[in-house]
Amino acid sequence: MLTNRSKVVVNKEMTFAEKIYIPAIVAGLMITIKHFFKKKATINFPEQQKPISEVWRGLHVLKRDEQGRENCTACGLCAVACPAEAITMTAAERKKGEEHLYREEKYAAVYEINMLRCIFCGLCEEACPKEAIFLTNRMTPSDTLRDNFIYGKDKLVEGIAPEERVDISYRARAHRKEVE
Ligand code: SF4
Ligand code: SF4
Protein backbone atom coordinates (compact mmCIF):
# COMPACT_ATOMS: atom_id res chain seq x y z
CA MET A 1 0.00 0.00 0.00
CA LEU A 2 1.45 3.38 -1.03
CA THR A 3 -0.80 5.54 1.19
CA ASN A 4 -3.25 5.07 4.05
CA ARG A 5 -6.07 6.62 2.01
CA SER A 6 -7.25 3.40 0.38
CA LYS A 7 -10.96 2.69 0.73
CA VAL A 8 -12.53 -0.69 0.53
CA VAL A 9 -15.31 -0.68 -2.08
CA VAL A 10 -18.32 -2.75 -1.14
CA ASN A 11 -20.74 -3.94 -3.80
CA LYS A 12 -23.73 -3.21 -1.55
CA GLU A 13 -27.18 -4.52 -2.45
CA MET A 14 -29.56 -1.60 -3.39
CA THR A 15 -32.51 -0.95 -1.08
CA PHE A 16 -36.08 -1.14 -2.42
CA ALA A 17 -36.31 2.71 -2.54
CA GLU A 18 -33.07 2.90 -4.49
CA LYS A 19 -34.25 0.23 -6.91
CA ILE A 20 -37.45 2.10 -7.90
CA TYR A 21 -35.47 5.39 -8.41
CA ILE A 22 -38.44 7.52 -7.25
CA PRO A 23 -36.60 9.30 -4.37
CA ALA A 24 -33.75 10.11 -6.77
CA ILE A 25 -36.21 11.44 -9.40
CA VAL A 26 -38.01 13.57 -6.78
CA ALA A 27 -34.68 14.94 -5.52
CA GLY A 28 -33.73 15.83 -9.12
CA LEU A 29 -37.10 17.51 -9.73
CA MET A 30 -36.73 19.56 -6.54
CA ILE A 31 -33.44 20.94 -7.87
CA THR A 32 -35.12 21.80 -11.21
CA ILE A 33 -38.08 23.52 -9.44
CA LYS A 34 -35.68 25.47 -7.21
CA HIS A 35 -33.86 26.84 -10.27
CA PHE A 36 -37.18 27.55 -12.05
CA PHE A 37 -38.00 30.31 -9.56
CA LYS A 38 -34.49 31.73 -9.35
CA LYS A 39 -33.50 34.89 -11.28
CA LYS A 40 -32.25 33.78 -14.71
CA ALA A 41 -28.62 34.42 -15.59
CA THR A 42 -29.40 34.34 -19.32
CA ILE A 43 -31.32 36.85 -21.49
CA ASN A 44 -33.32 36.44 -24.72
CA PHE A 45 -30.69 37.85 -27.08
CA PRO A 46 -31.09 39.59 -29.54
CA GLU A 47 -34.55 40.80 -28.45
CA GLN A 48 -33.05 41.74 -25.08
CA GLN A 49 -29.60 43.20 -24.70
CA LYS A 50 -27.48 43.77 -21.65
CA PRO A 51 -26.09 47.27 -21.07
CA ILE A 52 -22.62 47.49 -22.54
CA SER A 53 -19.53 49.32 -21.41
CA GLU A 54 -18.70 52.77 -22.80
CA VAL A 55 -15.47 51.37 -24.20
CA TRP A 56 -17.21 48.51 -25.97
CA ARG A 57 -15.84 47.74 -29.43
CA GLY A 58 -18.40 46.10 -31.70
CA LEU A 59 -19.31 45.86 -35.36
CA HIS A 60 -17.27 48.09 -37.70
CA VAL A 61 -18.55 50.86 -39.90
CA LEU A 62 -16.88 52.41 -42.95
CA LYS A 63 -17.70 56.10 -42.77
CA ARG A 64 -18.61 58.62 -45.42
CA ASP A 65 -17.80 62.34 -45.26
CA GLU A 66 -20.40 65.11 -44.94
CA GLN A 67 -20.96 65.01 -48.70
CA GLY A 68 -21.63 61.27 -48.67
CA ARG A 69 -18.30 60.22 -50.20
CA GLU A 70 -16.49 57.13 -48.87
CA ASN A 71 -13.58 58.14 -46.66
CA CYS A 72 -11.55 54.97 -47.25
CA THR A 73 -8.67 55.33 -49.67
CA ALA A 74 -7.66 51.67 -49.65
CA CYS A 75 -4.23 52.43 -48.19
CA GLY A 76 -4.18 49.03 -46.49
CA LEU A 77 -2.90 50.28 -43.12
CA CYS A 78 -5.82 48.73 -41.26
CA ALA A 79 -5.10 45.36 -42.88
CA VAL A 80 -1.42 45.60 -41.92
CA ALA A 81 -2.30 46.57 -38.34
CA CYS A 82 -4.84 43.79 -37.93
CA PRO A 83 -3.33 41.04 -35.74
CA ALA A 84 -5.98 38.55 -36.86
CA GLU A 85 -5.43 39.14 -40.59
CA ALA A 86 -9.16 39.63 -40.86
CA ILE A 87 -9.18 42.51 -43.37
CA THR A 88 -8.74 42.19 -47.13
CA MET A 89 -9.32 44.77 -49.84
CA THR A 90 -8.88 45.50 -53.50
CA ALA A 91 -7.97 49.05 -54.44
CA ALA A 92 -9.26 50.84 -57.52
CA GLU A 93 -8.70 54.25 -59.09
CA ARG A 94 -11.48 56.76 -59.01
CA LYS A 95 -12.74 57.55 -62.50
CA LYS A 96 -13.89 60.90 -63.80
CA GLY A 97 -17.43 61.52 -62.65
CA GLU A 98 -17.03 59.43 -59.48
CA GLU A 99 -15.87 62.33 -57.34
CA HIS A 100 -19.23 62.36 -55.56
CA LEU A 101 -18.74 58.70 -54.49
CA TYR A 102 -15.15 58.56 -53.26
CA ARG A 103 -13.28 61.30 -51.41
CA GLU A 104 -9.80 60.29 -52.56
CA GLU A 105 -8.40 59.31 -55.97
CA LYS A 106 -8.01 55.73 -54.77
CA TYR A 107 -10.79 53.80 -53.11
CA ALA A 108 -11.60 50.26 -51.95
CA ALA A 109 -13.52 48.49 -54.70
CA VAL A 110 -13.67 45.48 -52.39
CA TYR A 111 -13.32 45.71 -48.62
CA GLU A 112 -13.98 42.67 -46.48
CA ILE A 113 -13.69 41.80 -42.80
CA ASN A 114 -13.88 38.21 -41.66
CA MET A 115 -15.88 38.54 -38.44
CA LEU A 116 -14.95 35.01 -37.39
CA ARG A 117 -11.31 36.07 -37.30
CA CYS A 118 -11.82 39.54 -35.84
CA ILE A 119 -11.02 39.91 -32.15
CA PHE A 120 -12.48 43.45 -31.97
CA CYS A 121 -9.19 44.88 -30.75
CA GLY A 122 -9.75 48.22 -32.51
CA LEU A 123 -6.25 48.41 -34.03
CA CYS A 124 -7.73 48.96 -37.52
CA GLU A 125 -9.49 52.05 -36.19
CA GLU A 126 -6.27 53.28 -34.57
CA ALA A 127 -4.25 52.71 -37.76
CA CYS A 128 -6.62 54.45 -40.17
CA PRO A 129 -5.28 57.86 -41.26
CA LYS A 130 -8.54 58.83 -42.99
CA GLU A 131 -11.06 58.37 -40.17
CA ALA A 132 -12.71 55.81 -42.40
CA ILE A 133 -13.15 52.79 -40.13
CA PHE A 134 -14.63 52.78 -36.64
CA LEU A 135 -15.84 50.13 -34.28
CA THR A 136 -19.35 50.83 -33.07
CA ASN A 137 -21.56 49.74 -30.20
CA ARG A 138 -23.50 47.41 -32.51
CA MET A 139 -23.27 43.64 -32.18
CA THR A 140 -22.38 41.25 -34.99
CA PRO A 141 -25.55 39.23 -35.56
CA SER A 142 -25.31 35.49 -35.12
CA ASP A 143 -25.55 33.21 -38.13
CA THR A 144 -25.23 29.55 -39.03
CA LEU A 145 -23.21 29.93 -42.26
CA ARG A 146 -19.52 30.76 -42.17
CA ASP A 147 -19.72 32.68 -45.47
CA ASN A 148 -22.19 35.12 -43.93
CA PHE A 149 -19.51 36.29 -41.53
CA ILE A 150 -17.44 37.77 -44.37
CA TYR A 151 -18.68 41.33 -44.20
CA GLY A 152 -18.27 43.28 -47.43
CA LYS A 153 -18.91 46.92 -48.26
CA ASP A 154 -22.64 46.23 -48.48
CA LYS A 155 -22.66 45.61 -44.71
CA LEU A 156 -19.82 47.88 -43.64
CA VAL A 157 -20.27 51.19 -45.47
CA GLU A 158 -22.86 53.44 -43.84
CA GLY A 159 -25.78 54.74 -45.88
CA ILE A 160 -25.77 58.20 -47.46
CA ALA A 161 -29.12 59.41 -46.09
CA PRO A 162 -28.93 61.17 -42.70
CA GLU A 163 -31.07 58.46 -41.04
CA GLU A 164 -28.72 55.76 -42.38
CA ARG A 165 -25.59 57.33 -40.91
CA VAL A 166 -23.97 55.41 -38.04
CA ASP A 167 -23.37 57.50 -34.94
CA ILE A 168 -19.75 57.17 -33.83
CA SER A 169 -19.74 60.00 -31.31
CA TYR A 170 -19.93 57.19 -28.75
CA ARG A 171 -16.48 55.93 -29.94
CA ALA A 172 -15.05 59.42 -29.79
CA ARG A 173 -16.24 59.72 -26.18
CA ALA A 174 -14.75 56.35 -25.29
CA HIS A 175 -11.47 57.28 -26.99
CA ARG A 176 -11.29 60.52 -25.00
CA LYS A 177 -11.78 58.50 -21.80
CA GLU A 178 -8.99 56.08 -22.80
CA VAL A 179 -6.61 59.02 -23.43
CA GLU A 180 -7.48 60.84 -20.16
S1 SF4 B 1 -10.83 45.01 -34.68
FE2 SF4 B 1 -8.77 44.13 -34.59
S3 SF4 B 1 -9.02 42.05 -35.27
FE4 SF4 B 1 -10.88 43.11 -35.88
S5 SF4 B 1 -10.49 43.78 -37.97
FE6 SF4 B 1 -9.86 45.46 -36.63
S7 SF4 B 1 -7.67 45.14 -36.26
FE8 SF4 B 1 -8.52 43.23 -37.07
S1 SF4 C 1 -10.10 51.90 -43.61
FE2 SF4 C 1 -8.52 53.48 -43.32
S3 SF4 C 1 -6.61 52.33 -42.97
FE4 SF4 C 1 -8.10 50.91 -43.89
S5 SF4 C 1 -7.68 51.03 -46.07
FE6 SF4 C 1 -9.32 52.49 -45.64
S7 SF4 C 1 -8.26 54.43 -45.31
FE8 SF4 C 1 -6.70 52.83 -45.15
> What ranges do the domains of the chain cover?
60-179
Residue nearest to atom 2 of ligand 2 (CA): 128
Over the stretch 12-55, which tens digit does the pLDDT of each residue have?
A: 898 898 899 999 999 999 999 999 999 988 898 888 888 888 88
Cα-to-centroid distance, 73 and ligand 2 (Å):
6
Answer whether 81's CB lies under 8 Å from 115's CB: no
Cα-to-centroid distance, 43 and ligand 1 (Å):
27
E strand residue ranges, the chain: 60-62, 87-93, 106-114, 133-135, 150-151
- Pairing type for strands 133-135 and 87-93 reads unpaired
Q: Quick check: CB of 121 below 6 Å from ligand 1?
A: yes
Pocket test for ligand 2, best of 61, 65, 75, 123 (most atoms within 8 A of CB): 75
Q: Quick check: CB of 101 below 6 Å from ligand 1?
A: no
For domain 60-179, the question of CATH label 3.30.70.3270 is answered with: yes
- Identify the nearest ligand to the CA of 87 by its number: 1
Contacts (Cβ under 8 Å, ≥6 apart) of 59: 115, 135, 136, 138, 139, 140
Over the stretch 50-95, which tens digit does the pLDDT of each residue have?
A: 888 888 899 999 999 999 999 999 999 999 999 999 999 999 999 9
Q: Quick check: CB of 58 below 6 Å from ligand 2?
A: no
What is the three-class DSSP state of 20? Answer: helix
E strand residue ranges, 28-172: 60-62, 87-93, 106-114, 133-135, 150-151
* CA 102 from centroid of its chain's CA atoms: 28
pTM: 0.77
CA–CA separation, 25 vs 20, rounded Å?
10
